[in-house]
A and B are shown apart, each in its own frame.
Chain A
């Protein structure tokens, strides 16, 4: 058998890698990650959708699992049956149900009530009733309310006001007021602003400069100045660049090669860096990055929602982002 090369995207291997994730029940790490299960299903499902194989995972089984994570006391989703509700897992559940066109299964009023109850007087959101706050949770809330068509219930001024106070002189955003800019927090803040039609808050030239300087000589992107590259930043940085229409400000070809070199050519999946262990999180964000870069054969990804673009277009939610044209 000819050895697989990592010069091209190993689509079939990645699909089969994702399919096998649910069958690893004799693997300890499968059990040790139960607190991430719903998120992992969202990562895996979105990855196979972008790879053009949405049917690779069983629809009924997936919907049944999502519904089994419902936390009746809180009125939202935990990451696994009997785990507590949290905004992170609640957004994953809603995204999966939207992608599977199964929102009719959801008690929308209750979950909207849960989400809105987490907004703090400052405008940021807590992740759950225990009160940890972060711009990630603000994004989860805005994204979920938008998917559910209930954005009109949100105090937008207050929400945007908080993001604005997280903006730093380098154009980036942190996880809370005063925090250092970080690519992933830049993504959540910029995407939330895009959903709220308030991109005027972004200092585009300064932010695009800061984001473009995330690319290192090996083509990979880092999350902050003077840090190492990592495949997941391919999505955090690229999504923000595409929302402000500046993807060409980095070297797409070098970044594509870097992502491809982090594939496992034997068992599929993508790692943080070449030669490391793969996982479903980096598999999605590697594939997502390649989609934004116009890699041939991939399905368009909406960088604002991190879901297939056609799903978002159908719901009339597409914003004015720009990816690179898809190559043949």
Chain B
């Protein structure tokens, strides 16, 4: 019924190959493209100019689709799909046809070495498409298919080197996705692809390297929740496998968060990650220590919503998990006070604070 059609950078950055067809993005779903007014004369002029392009595009589409119907797996047909995808990289049927040509036409009469080289070209073609359209699902999908079809090195089946071609292709892919994340550090297509590559590459990278990568991304920008998210997944896995001293690592994370909180107490990413970290365990000692630390920040920033939101959450956690060891009545009284202040400070979510406060009374 839908998909996320998000061209991020907007219509202006559509890439050189779309220039011939105009920089206006697709009308069915547009993001971040300014509305401009056109006089009837301007509209007419534009329509006349577009007429030739429309004829070219529709005739190219018809030619390619009819070749597809006829099962034409020739090089000529393949070249036409390149042209068509350059005009419209979202034409998923044409990506499908391209793969059909590769499988039934090209691969069927090629040596493994030739197949490898065709797929290398294919990855390069998809790369230039991605640079212009970093959020088109079909292009990322095509890359996955290419990677998964890189053959083994023939004649070396019993040697470890028979995976050589695959290894270098997947290694290069990690480099590619890092470039994409340098350009847009929140692109979820790129993060999903990154997790896919890390999970499937023949020379698995140690997870400690990925932890270091998230550190670099977070240092560049504390607001990068995608990097914090990735970090939570990697740490969970490293702790579970005993590859990191969990208690020590957790303390290091609290330290990192302390820095981030003081840098920008309004940044959601930091508080959400903090909530994750507290939730991983530690009990009463950690909860009380964190409440005190956040309270200190709140004393400095008396209107910090996130300080209050977090304190009230952790106090209620304390009541829930250690009722026998804490002063329940005074903690809940403090929570009610905080909810009252939050209602004034953050009226958009007033009802939430009201309901949570009422919960205490009931």
Contacts and interface: CB of A to CB of B under 8 A. Distances in A.
B87 A180 contact: no
Given A39-B1, A251-B347, A225 B28 contact: no
Contact of A276 (B33, B92, B141, B233): B33
Interface in B320-356: 347-352, 355
B34 A275 contact: yes
Given A225-B269, A225-B272, A226-B268, A279 B30 contact: yes
Interface residues of B, number: 70
Given A28-B53, A184-B4, A271-B30, A250 B225 contact: no
Nearest to A213: B268
Interface in A243-302: 246, 248-251, 254, 264, 266, 271-273, 275-282
Given A169-B276, A277-B33, A209 B90 contact: no
Given A82-B65, A226-B268, A276-B32, A31 B276 contact: no
B124 interface: no
A178 B195 contact: yes
24 contacts: A26-B50, A27-B47, A28-B21, A28-B54, A29-B24, A29-B27, A30-B27, A35-B93, A36-B29, A36-B90, A39-B28, A84-B92, A84-B96, A88-B1, A88-B3, A130-B141, A168-B229, A175-B192, A224-B226, A226-B224, A226-B267, A276-B32, A277-B27, A281-B29
A281 B50 contact: no
Contacts, number: 193
B contact face: mostly helix, strand, loop, or mixed: helix
B352 A31 contact: no
A242 interface: no
B99 interface: yes
A86 interface: yes
Given A36-B29, A215-B348, A277-B33, A224 B186 contact: yes
B161 interface: no
Interface in A202-222: 208-210, 212-213, 215, 217, 219
Interface in B62-78: 65, 68-69
A175 B186 CA distance: 15
B28 A36 contact: yes
Given A272-B31, A276-B33, A208 B352 contact: yes
B28 A170 contact: no
B223 interface: yes
Nearest to B280: A169
A92 B3 CA distance: 12
Contacts of B188: 175, 179-180, 182, 224
Given A215-B348, A278-B35, 13 more contacts: A29-B25, A131-B145, A136-B2, A168-B229, A170-B275, A182-B4, A212-B349, A225-B272, A226-B269, A249-B352, A272-B30, A281-B2, A281-B29
Given A36-B29, A82-B69, A95 B35 contact: no
